[in-house]
């Protein structure tokens, strides 16, 4: 608590949240792809198509492609220390086979209270288990709409602390400046005070569109100071889902490379001579390629932000914080390696077919030469 007291003294006055909301997000993978129209017909809960609510001027055609399906469910509030969730939870279904489960926690009281909340949220097993249970229930309802259904073990969580009004009524820059060390601790979910260097790094990714709004993004959480901010939250939620899909795809490609290498190097002579076995190996590698490439393209192209320059910058900054570009590079490299293995297997099989044909031709020539000298087969 000494660190918190130091922060209070540094700011000159204890900052208090008058109205705010913490949005806690859990991203799950449920399959290769989802037909959202079919899924919508199977769901009996309240649903709606998620659209980007622009508060800035931007071309209307830059949106999700296609728009995710939002499902709202009533829940019993979950207790998190001195806080508790709202009575509803949202499940946002993306067509590339992902679901983001979003909880809302009303905020009010001293800003320092978010330190305790951040500690409760960090790797919280109860919230994670509840989100997975809801995704499992959803999967049983919309399974006919999913290609290759199945819930992955991986999950990505992210917290967005949104502050709408605060007291004392100081300006936005002063609010962040006075509470910089505390805000860095909240974003990193660290109880102990951070070094000046770590504080600067945690607050480095800050953006504003107007004089009265700001978003500070870090790898574990984001601080959003805005009375609305639906569009910014949607971009951050999508970035969290994209991180999950990139991680899953990277793991799948590792498995695909192992299977492809095994198929190429561990063929018995009997399997090599079997046209069906060789075709099965090639088809298996090709399917791994296609599934991975389709998922990669689906995730990368789901959100179109080129027309909204501010949201595009928010997305680029979030991508940098979550290292999405590094994941992209790793996945592209593995896709190229998988393609190289496929080409080598295909070329090797083509060479073997040519060798078999050559031996067949040699055998036929030998037989045609030998026939005249064989008794009873010469025709005389």
Average pLDDT over residues 271-294: 66
Domain boundaries, the chain: 2-235, 239-370
pLDDT digits (tens, 9 = 90+) for 235-272: 999 999 999 998 988 888 888 788 777 766 665 444 45
Residue 280 has what pLDDT? 66
- Which of 199-203, 309-313, 339-343 reaches the highest mean pLDDT? 199-203
pLDDT at 146 over 60: yes
Confidence of residue 4 (pLDDT cuts 50, 70, 90): very low
* Pairing relationship of beta strands 221-225 and 156-167 according to DSSP bridges: parallel
Distances (CA, A) of 206 to 73, 218, 292: 33, 9, 34
| Residues counted in the chain | 380
In three-state secondary structure terms, 284 is: helix
Q: Which helix (H) or strand (E) holds 315?
A: helix 309-322
What are phi and psi for residue 228, nearest 5 degrees?
Answer: -125, -90
pLDDT digits (tens, 9 = 90+) for 58-84: 444 446 677 889 999 999 999 999 999
Q: How far apart are CA 147 and CA 150, in angstroms?
A: 9
- How much is the mean pLDDT over the chain? 83
Q: Which of 126, 119, 25 is nearest to 76 (CA)?
A: 126
Q: What is the dihedral of CA 164, 222, 239, 98, to 10 degrees?
A: -80
pLDDT at 12 over 50: no
Average pLDDT over residues 172-191: 91
Contact 202, 184 (CB under 8 A): yes
Residue 347 has what pLDDT? 72
Which residue, chain included where needed, has tokens 């997975």?
Answer: 132
pLDDT at 127 over 70: yes
pLDDT at 304 over 70: no
Residue 3 buriedness (CB in 10 A; 0-12 / 13-18 / 19+): middle
Cβ partners under 8 Å of residue 73, min gap 6:
45, 46, 88, 89, 90, 91, 134
Residue 256 has what pLDDT? 77
DSSP of 41-101, one letter per residue?
A: HH--SEEEE-----SS---TT-SBSSPPEEEEEE-PPPEETTEE--SEEEEEEETTTEEEE
């Amino acid at each position: 608590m000494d660190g918190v007291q130091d922060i209070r003294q540094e700011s000159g006055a204890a900052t208090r949240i008058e109205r705010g909301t913490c949005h806690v997000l859990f991203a799950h993978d449920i399959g290769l792809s989802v037909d959202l129209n079919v899924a919508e017909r199977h769901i009996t809960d309240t649903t709606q198509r998620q659209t980007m609510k622009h508060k800035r001027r931007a071309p209307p055609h830059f949106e999700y492609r296609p728009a995710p399906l939002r499902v709202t469910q009533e829940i019993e509030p979950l207790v998190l220390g001195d806080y508790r969730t709202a009575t509803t939870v949202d499940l946002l279904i993306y067509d590339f086979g992902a679901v983001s489960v979003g909880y809302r926690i009303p905020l009010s009281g001293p800003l320092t209270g978010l330190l305790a909340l951040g500690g409760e949220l960090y790797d919280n097993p109860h919230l994670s288990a509840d989100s997975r249970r809801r995704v499992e229930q959803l999967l049983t309802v919309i399974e006919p709409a999913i290609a290759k259904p199945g819930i992955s073990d991986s999950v990505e969580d992210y917290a967005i602390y949104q502050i709408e009004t605060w007291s004392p009524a100081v300006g936005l820059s002063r609010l962040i400046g006075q509470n910089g060390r505390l805000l860095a601790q909240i974003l990193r979910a660290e109880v102990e005070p951070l070094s000046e260097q770590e504080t600067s790094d945690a607050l480095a990714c800050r953006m504003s569109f107007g004089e009265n709004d700001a978003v500070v993004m870090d790898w574990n959480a984001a601080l959003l100071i805005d009375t609305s901010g639906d569009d910014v939250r949607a971009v951050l939620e999508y970035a969290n889902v994209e991180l999950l899909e990139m991680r899953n795809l990277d793991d799948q490609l590792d498995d695909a490379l192992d299977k492809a290498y095994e198929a190429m190097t561990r063929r018995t002579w009997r399997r090599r001579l079997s046209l069906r076995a060789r075709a099965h190996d090639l088809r298996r590698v090709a399917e791994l390629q296609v599934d991975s490439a389709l998922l990669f393209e689906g995730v990368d192209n789901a959100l179109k932000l080129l027309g909204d320059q501010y949201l595009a910058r928010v997305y680029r900054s979030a991508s940098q914080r979550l290292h999405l570009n590094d994941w992209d590079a790793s996945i592209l490299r593995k896709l190229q390696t998988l393609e190289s293995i496929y080409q080598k297997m295909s070329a090797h099989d083509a060479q073997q077919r040519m060798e078999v044909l050559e031996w067949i031709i040699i055998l036929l020539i030998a037989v045609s030469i030998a026939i005249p000298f064989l008794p009873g087969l010469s025709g005389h």
